Amino acid sequence: MRKISALLAGATALSLSTTALATDHDPMMLQAKALQDDVAYDIVEGLTTEIGPRQAGTEQEARARHWAVARLIAYGFDNVRSEPFMMPTWVRGAETAAVVAPYAQPLVVTALGNSASTGVEGITAEVAYFESLEAMKAVPDGSLAGKIAFVTHKMHRSQDGSGYSAFGPVRWVGPSIASQKGAVAYVIKSIGTDYHRNPHTGSTGFGEGVKPIPAGALSLPDADNLERMVKLAQGVGETVTMNLVLTPRNLGQQESGNVIAEVTGRDPSLPMILIACHLDSWDLATGAFDDAAGCGIITAAAKNIRDHGQPLRTIRLLWAGAEEVGIWGGKAYRDAHRDQKHAIAMESDFGADRVWRVEFTLPDSAKPVADRISASLLNLGIGRSGGKAGGGADIGPIISDSNLAIIDLQQDGSRYFDLHHTPDDTLDKIDPEQLRQNVAAWTTVLSIIANSDADFTMPVKP
């Protein structure tokens, strides 16, 4: 009897201990634990090693979804599933560039997503040089007939990555403008900050009624060399002629998909927390920074919360598909889940280097929550910004549709655009200590918001 009584007493103590664990989410204790995390790195290593490049709509991306589902189930998440959708799929082919005259030499180039094909023989034409996108916009329509337009820029490194929004239009809309001006093809100085012979790919688009033309990005050193050639040739009354070969193909509608997982909350009546990354990558590298790291960070943080006990609110993970080629996963998530109740959305999609500031877009009623988060992050060297949180690409559609509150953990982007969309985006660029600091920051924030019953409802937009 004494032995049975002791066992019952032990079971009661264990039950009480488990109950306390399920409700005690001390942010600082969880933060300290997260600084020892290995889950995030394991995810980045797994995706880059076992899957590799994961361009949307391809078999590699499908393999990545199967891998993600299996991994998330193994980690113990709830309601793990893949949610497929269809999207147009573009794949690259051969890609070469060379100056033919007067200074013959090869250049390193890659096609921009949605580029048209030059055909296997390529296009040989005079180069029309512009020092900025605005300069090309200023020339008359039709004035570039028969020419290859070449636009450069002066993007520099910045901690907040603001150069991308300033100079990104050179890639995003430049090919469409060049086509309107009559150009037969378009090349740019890659939208990046490294000086290696690694061109940066990325999507472009053509306006309604605008004929798609071949469009490529030169590595930064090659673009600078081409600029010098043009200026040197102009000085002696000559022009530069280039041969460009880009043979991408459109495969039509192919399947992509989102991977969803959850940490089920104790109170299903409370709106959930949505945290996101994107599973796809460009095909030039293994996508460690963009965005296997983001998937590792958010998953490790959510697992830390789950392992410590059931939170008050449900945390939903979105590993979005087909972000790079048009945010198709974010749009599909919005369409499938707009009727569900979301409280706050967050995203990690800016590499793996340290979080240095936090930003909020929260209602006034949640000010105490923001203040608590800010105080709890100081230990990690993270300061509070007076700016508003804007969210990320994959959560943008649901934020806009449902007017959600947002928290941004801003990472140091000083070297992000050295690697962005290049062959250099590989596992060796991940600093495990900086990755752990990200996990600790995310764990801290999730431990607070997922256990808060504050009203996060944003005021109705005017």
pLDDT tens digits, residue range 10-49?
433 333 333 333 345 899 999 999 999 999 999 999 999 9
Half-sphere exposure of 77 (CA within 13 A, CB side): 27
228 burial via Cβ count (<10 Å: 0-12, 13-18, 19+): exposed
How far is C-alpha 45 from the chain's CA centre? 17
Spans of all domains in the chain = 25-86+253-449, 94-249
Q: What is the pLDDT of residue 308?
A: 95
Q: Is the four-CA dihedral 299, 304, 305, 307 of positive or negative sign?
A: positive
pLDDT tens digits, residue range 253-270?
999 999 999 999 999 999
Q: Is the four-CA dihedral 48, 54, 58, 64 of positive or negative sign?
A: positive
pLDDT tens digits, residue range 361-415?
999 999 999 999 999 999 999 999 999 999 999 999 999 999 999 999 999 999 9
Q: How many percent of the chain have pLDDT more than 70?
A: 95
Q: Which helix (H) or strand (E) element contains residue 202?
A: none
Q: What is the pLDDT of residue 1?
A: 34
Q: What is the pLDDT of residue 25?
A: 81
Q: What is the pLDDT of residue 24?
A: 58
Strands 315-320 and 383-384, sheet pairing: unpaired
Kindly indicate the confidence band of residue 6, based on its pLDDT and cuts at 50, 70 and 90: very low
Mean model confidence pLDDT for the chain: 94
Kindly indicate the confidence band of residue 461, based on its pLDDT and cuts at 50, 70 and 90: confident
**Rounded Cα distance, 165 and 169, in Å:** 7
How far is C-alpha 170 from the chain's CA centre? 19
pLDDT tens digits, residue range 160-194?
999 999 999 999 999 999 999 999 999 999 999 99
Q: What residue ranges in 367-448 does DSSP mark as E strands?
A: 383-384, 405-411
Amino acid identity for residue 244 in this structure: L
Helix axes 293-308, 39-46, angle to 10 degrees: 140
What's the angle, vertex CA 257, arms to CA 255 and CA 259, rounded to 5? 155
CATH of 25-86+253-449, one of 3.60.21.10, 1.10.3720.10, 3.40.630.10, 3.40.50.300: 3.40.630.10
Q: What is the pLDDT of residue 462?
A: 76
pLDDT tens digits, residue range 199-213?
999 999 999 999 999
pTM over 0.85: yes
Q: At the topology level of CATH, where does 94-249 sit?
A: Glucose Oxidase; domain 1 (3.50.30)
**Rounded Cα distance, 223 and 130, in Å:** 12
